[in-house]
Amino acid sequence: MKKLPLYLCLSFLLFLASCKKTSEDFQTDEISDYAPLVVGKYITYSLDSLVFVNFNSTSAVRSYQVKYEVDAQITDNLNRPAYRIIRYIRKTAANSFVPDATFMAINTGNALEFVENNQRFIKLRLPIREGYTWKGNSYIDTYSLNSDFRHLDGWDYTYADVGVLQEGIATITINQQDETIGNTSDLNSYSEVNKGIEKYAKGIGMVYKLFLHTEYQPPTPGRNGFYQGYGITLNMIDHN
């Protein structure tokens, strides 16, 4: 057998060593770094809610404050450790918080699952690195004829700006969807907008959320055009 020149053998060995070192050096943050689940932990947000008024002909924004608080450790329907999260709402800081919704969060070790209105979202997933993508709505029925969640179909959640500092704290952004169907300026044709973004801060949790789903139905004989859907924007204002 013909032997390779010595310099080629050395180059190949150096290449293997370099690959091994790169693999060993790569480390990812844990899910718990960006979603700490501890009973008693809370985050308070300003909430802007987009609604449609005047027979769904125009939009309006209603503003509130909401607090998400980890209430108790429980088990989910798969007998996994989970946490119950209660949302409290008030109109302004002068009002008292009152509970208005309950959610569930599960850190599987590999992902953060969040159950809202009986729908399971995969909010975070390992590895936490720039450009990593996963199907965040894969547990949701978007296919059946009676599904109210077709607009959530096929969303690719993607990490962006991983480790960017805000006020000295590392953050990550998850771009979930940015879709426009049709021409939103044409009031004689159908259009739809779907948008989702969330941002998490290390040691704190979610600090920003934007969700928007709107549809415009054009006028037909005997009926004016109208909008349907909703949108919310959350910005953190306090946490413990």
pLDDT class of 23 with cuts at 50, 70, 90: very low
- For the chain, percent of residues with pLDDT exceeding 90: 85
CA angle 140, 142, 143 (to 5 degrees): 130
Q: What share of the chain is helix, strand, coil (3-state, %, to 5)?
A: 10, 55, 35
Give CA–CA dist 129/134, Å, rounded. 12
Give the pLDDT score at 26: 55
Asked whether residue 113 carries a pLDDT value surpassing 80, the answer given is: yes
